[in-house]
Amino acid sequence: MTNLSEDSAVLRLPRLADEEVDFGLLAEMTGFSVKLVWILGYTYLTRAIDDAGITPQRFSMLELIGVNPGLTQTQLARALGLSRPATSLTIDFWEGRGHVERRIAAQDRRSFGIHLTAQGKTALEGLRVRVREADDALTRKLGPEEIDQLRGLLARIYE
Amino acid sequence: MTNLSEDSAVLRLPRLADEEVDFGLLAEMTGFSVKLVWILGYTYLTRAIDDAGITPQRFSMLELIGVNPGLTQTQLARALGLSRPATSLTIDFWEGRGHVERRIAAQDRRSFGIHLTAQGKTALEGLRVRVREADDALTRKLGPEEIDQLRGLLARIYE
DNA sequence: CTGTATTTGTTAATCACTATAACAAATACA
DNA sequence: TGTATTTGTTATAGTGATTAACAAATACAG
């Protein structure tokens, strides 16, 4: 995850501003602007939490488990838009660190309820602080009312 | 690129709205909203142009070449935020279709100036129409002044 | 002028991620 | 009771992008 050579990718962002390159249609597309901001946010977030393989996806999973203890893996997969195998592997990751445990569901012994361990709760607290900071950094050029405006417009699109 | 089985990925989007899942901190993050919209836009765009391997990245490259004929591969890589190997392969793709050609630069015979062929120009025109439609579809729930507002706020973040 | 260093582009090897397919166990239902 | 569906896992594969290594051309230092 550390890319520090000549062609480092973490910071590799399209360059709209400088030099003589005209972005043509891309510069007129809302989707392209969204992509640029997404890359920037992903970069901030990754830098904030990248300890031994913690990625935005993996954090999202831990957060969902923390807020909704007992969800099954299929429910988690659907909520986050992942395949069931990907979900299974993500839970393996957190279980291997002792942050999460699978408890067999009494009423349906095919499925597990996923829960945070005490360790997991502590880790999640620490991660949340850093994630918040990264998200604040992303919007640091906007005032509070502008952030609300932006969030509102984005929500109108995907809701 | 066709995923039509049970676990289809093209449409796989996190589900904020329905069911009993609480997204916790994620629901409060601007970066997460941006990600959702980005996924949606990427899905629309991919559906609009996905003929025989044309991806958003590859379209972006063709557009940049069309608007800025004669750029070198290194300049294209920097502008789009790609590595030079990735850029080289993308140009291979378009060159193989006869849409782009490499012309040796007279003053520096290490580098090529990249140019559209007549075929490439025609193809680009057709793609531009579909790309515009996909971008319009993404923002169809917003009025013109709201789109401007959104674009302005996003630009403030990455500029 | 000569030799080293840098730059451009390509190729090869690798890595990370995700998906699909196939499977066992449990449950639902006809 | 027997078939079909669902849950989760494993195995396989495919994709994309990256790093490293390289050849050719150019820049520059001594």
What confidence tens digit (pLDDT) does each residue in A73-114 have? 999 999 999 999 999 999 999 999 999 999 988 788 899 899
Mean per-residue pLDDT of chain B = 88
Torsion over CA: B46, B50, B55, B59 (sign): negative
Per-residue pLDDT tens digits for B104-120: 887 888 998 999 999 99
Nearest CA in chain B to A41: B31
The DSSP symbol for B6 reads: T
Q: Is B22 on the interface with A (CB under 8 A)?
A: yes
Please tell me which residue of chain B has the smallest CA distance to A156.
B141
Average pLDDT over residues B86-102: 95
pLDDT for the residue numbered B12: 60
Which residues 82-141 of chain A have a CB within 8 Å of chain B?
A: 82-84, 128, 131-132, 134-135, 138-139, 141
* DSSP tag of B17: S
Q: Do B128 and A25 touch (CB under 8 A)?
A: yes
| Mean pLDDT for the stretch of residues B46-57 | 90
Mean pLDDT of B94-103: 95
Tell me the chain A residues in contact with residue B68 when contact means C-beta distances shorter than 8 Å.
20-22
Work out the burial of residue A143: count CB atoms within 10 Å of its CB; fewer than 13 is exposed, 13-18 middle, 19 or more buried.
exposed
- Identify which of A107, A103, A19, A111 has the alpha carbon closest to the alpha carbon of residue B71: A19
Separation CA A6–CA A125 (nearest Å): 36
**pLDDT at residue B15 above 80?**
no
Half-sphere exposure of A97 (CA within 13 A, CB side): 21
pLDDT computed for residue B91 by the predictor: 96
- Name all domains of chain A by residue range, CATH numbers in brackets: 24-143 (1.10.10.10)
Greater confidence (A112 vs B30) lies with: B30
The span from the CA of A146 to the CA of A93, in Å, is: 38
What global pTM score does this model have? 0.90
- Determine the distance between B86 (CA) and C11 (C1') in angstroms: 12
CA distance B68 to A24: 9
Q: Among partner residues A33, A79, A141, which is closest to B15 by beta-carbon distance?
A: A79
* R_g (Cα) of chain A, nearest Å: 19
| Amino acid present at A5 | S
Mean pLDDT comparison of A12-26, A141-155, B13-27, highest-scoring range? A141-155
